[in-house]
Amino acid sequence: MTEPDYFESKRFPTTDGEIAVINLESARQRSWSRFFFDPLRNGLAEIVVEHEQLTAQFVGDVSALDRLQFLSGQLAETNKPTARTLLVQAQIASMGHRFAEARDFIAQAELAEAPPADMNRLRLNIDQACGVELDRVLDQRRDLANKSGRTEDFVALGALLADMRDFAGADRTYKEALTIYQDVSPFPVAWVCFQLGVLWGELVRDPQANRAMLWYQKAVDCLPGYTKARVHLAELHSSAGRMSDAEALLTPAVSSGDPEVHWRLADVMSCKGRFADAEVLMRAARLGFESLLGRHLLAFADHGAEFYAGSGNDSCRALDLAYINFANRPTRRAFEQAHAIAVRAGNVDAAATLQVEATQRWSADAVFHSSALKGRSETLEKGEIAS
């Protein structure tokens, strides 16, 4: 069965994507109002985090992390932290890729007798993000998915299988996540379609652009405001020389504030000979990345490295950011990005040093991909999708 036939054979009676985003924004504002009225009421901070995570992930609102940092600060100012507030702070730190800080919060929550299941789920997310004991994480992910039957657990399992180079297994698992989905929110469906696009467009050894485009397009069809899906789909159109299609995808996403939208649109404008427009957009992209890196370095180091290794045209800055990302989360994808940047920059010493470290970590079977510069993380680290 072909990819589109597979998707169309499943029925997803989900809420219209544009309506869902409007509803999300209303819910986000209400959750903040309730939080300000009673900050320590059980469940309110968690709801704020859920809404902000969805806003960042699907709408591309890069200011969500700023609001979450404010939330964490508000919780820190309470007279006596509780297991619940410490776990919320751990989740926020993890979403910003501040994994060491997140582990410290979890350790404090454990002393405060936090529920073991909640702590274990957060630790599992962090271990997966950092490439720690992945065989153990895989066993636990499989157990969680089989016991819960939740789409978000299958998505996390699929992502791990992709990280471990079991691409066929990842494909099956993502499709299983679609098959079992029974809710009406379009967010999880769009997320799985996006993950399948990344899988076949970037992660496999021989990327399959047409297959990836089908999945990215399904994600956009399901959720028109899905900024990251628009960016990835536009990249494939640009690579195929379809600049007008790329422009049509990117232009509505400019309002998100995501500097990658400015970057990709600048490249399109340049290819179309609109150099003045390209210069303005590239300047906005550079300013946007530097602003994000100044506020949330670990969360955007991989994105920044990709930008400066490409149109940002600063190989030294790119390599510095790639090193920061690799030190923070020493995964194969982070290593491949750093190594590819070093090779492209002609930095033989840096490439050799990285290769030695990779051999020590993973023996001689370290795998390189032609798309290594796209080894960034596309979500805030939450480990699951709220439906």
What CA–CA distance (Å, rounded) separates 262 from 248?
A: 13
Q: What is the pLDDT of residue 365?
A: 52
In angstroms, what CA-CA distances link 281 with 268, 277, 288, 372? 10, 6, 10, 25
User: What single-letter DSSP state applies at residue 16?
Assistant: P
HSE (side-chain half, CA atoms, 13 Å) at 76: 11
Is residue 361 within 8 A of residue 330, CB to CB? The reply is yes
3-state secondary structure of 166: coil
pTM of the predicted structure, to 2 decimals: 0.91
Q: What is the pLDDT of residue 357?
A: 84
- Percent of the chain scoring above 70 in pLDDT: 90
Residue type, 11: R
Q: Residues in the chain with pLDDT < 70? A: 1-12, 364-387
Nearest CA to 214 among 201, 226, 227? Answer: 201
- Class of the CATH domain delimited by 226-295: mainly alpha
- Class of the CATH domain delimited by 1-10+133-225: mainly alpha
Q: What is the pLDDT of residue 376?
A: 54
Cα-flanking dihedrals φ and ψ of residue 292, to 5°? Answer: -65, -40
What CA–CA distance (Å, rounded) separates 357 from 276?
A: 44
Q: What is the pLDDT of residue 312?
A: 95
Question: Residues 6 or more apart from 71 whose CB is under 8 A from it?
Answer: 35, 45, 48, 49, 52, 88, 92
Burial class (CB in 10 A: 0-12, 13-18, 19+), 142: middle
